Amino acid sequence: MPFSAPDTATRELILSATDVTVAYGQHKALDGLNLEIREGELVGIIGPNGAGKTSFIRALCGRTRVTGDLNVAGTDLRRSTDRRRHIALVPQDIGLYPHLTARENLTVIGRLLGLKDRAAINQALETVEMSQHAKTRVSEMSGGMKRRINVAAAIMTGPKLVIFDEPTAGVDAPARDTVHRLARALADQGKAVILITHELEQAEALCDKILVLCKGKRLAFEPPARLLERSFENQREVMVRYATPPEPEVLNAMQPFAFTPGEMPTIWVAMTNANEVSFVSAFLTALKGENDLVREISVRRPGLTALMHRVEKTGQIAA
Ligand SMILES: Nc1ncnc2c1ncn2[C@@H]1O[C@H](COP(=O)(O)OP(=O)(O)OP(=O)(O)O)[C@@H](O)[C@H]1O
């Protein structure tokens, strides 16, 4: 049944984190995090390596010592003996028995979790749209189907908060899209959902809010459009692709335009506040006879990928 709450303020508060700190010795992996997530919200957590993303998930799952307050649906997580009722973690890897069917897998996992109710299995299969494949062996399933059953196994206890921990690492594109669609669908059904991902373009399109972490600190927590507006205002990203990596004289000509290396040696990226047409025209003029080397120039509004580069370089979201 689709979830429909009239506005954000009336939605139930699911996760409340107040001054949450995770320390390994003297080193604070997570440093005084404050956060609220409500039912129906899909929150993407992004940040450079070592930002504290995993430490936060470990804190939520009770796998590390934590100071501060962590509440899920009004339950103090530090005192709860039954986190699984409140929180589901969808792991990176498939944790299923390949020779068993979908239903057999969920039955075994349900028993391990102390679930006696078959209805929970049916409900989970229905939620991930796999009811018609209940009798299919996992070994005969596509990557996307296995991911769906993996999610079903995680949500059988009926948690209010579902965490996807980098579920798309090393996964092919269709399976990745399946996982992302499921994360969105669970939020649309009223769950609070956390997605830790390096798929920044997808996070931008899917998530209601983005939490940006860097060196254990919260840099931002807001809807992606607002975050990008605040970070880049009217800036544009200019991407140039050359036929071959630029020679020193081309690099010299590029210098006044502050290009930085892109994801391949042939790709270079610059940010500009100027009118983009003037920028591109001035750049091509500066290249003079080397113009022929340019295969492509594109101009776009900076997205979360550009934001992540900035955070990696400067530790900040605004220039
Ligand atoms: N068990 C540990 N003992 C000591 N330091 C740790 C431990 N686990 C993590 N750290 C440190 O805490 C910081 C945060 O690490 P964490 O794994 O939470 O970051 P992350 O954002 O998940 O990074 P990544 O994207 O690389 O997985 C890093 O500086 C890391 O080196």
Tens digits of pLDDT across the chain (319 residues): 455 555 666 889 999 999 999 999 999 999 999 999 999 999 999 999 999 999 999 999 888 999 999 999 888 887 776 777 789 999 878 889 999 999 999 999 999 888 877 889 999 999 999 999 999 999 999 888 999 999 999 999 889 999 998 766 667 888 888 889 999 999 999 999 999 988 899 999 999 999 999 999 999 999 999 999 999 998 999 999 999 999 999 999 999 999 999 889 999 999 998 888 999 999 999 988 777 789 999 999 999 999 999 999 999 998 7
Atom of ligand 1 nearest to the CA of 48: 25
The verdict on the CB of residue 54 being under 6 Å from ligand 1 is: yes
The verdict on the CB of residue 184 being under 6 Å from ligand 1 is: no
Q: Ligand 1 mean position to 50 CA, how many Å?
A: 5
**In which residue ranges of the chain is CATH 3.30.70.1150 found?**
236-301
**In which residue ranges of the chain is CATH 3.40.50.300 found?**
8-229
Q: Ligand 1 mean position to 223 CA, how many Å?
A: 26
What is the value of ipTM here, to two decimals? 0.95
The verdict on the CB of residue 44 being under 6 Å from ligand 1 is: no
How far CA 221 is from CA of 64, 97, 209, 213, 230, in Å, comes to: 23, 38, 6, 9, 12
pLDDT of residue 174: 81
* Candidates 3.30.930.10, 3.40.50.300, 3.10.450.40, 3.40.640.10; CATH matching 8-229: 3.40.50.300
Identify the architecture of domain 236-301 in CATH.
2-Layer Sandwich (3.30)
The verdict on the CB of residue 190 being under 6 Å from ligand 1 is: no
**Distance of alpha carbon 135 from its chain centroid, rounded?**
32
The verdict on the CB of residue 157 being under 6 Å from ligand 1 is: no
- Please tell me the pTM assigned to this model: 0.89
Q: At what angle do helices 118-127 and 143-155 cross, to 10 degrees?
A: 140
Nearest to 194 by CA among 202, 204, 184: 184
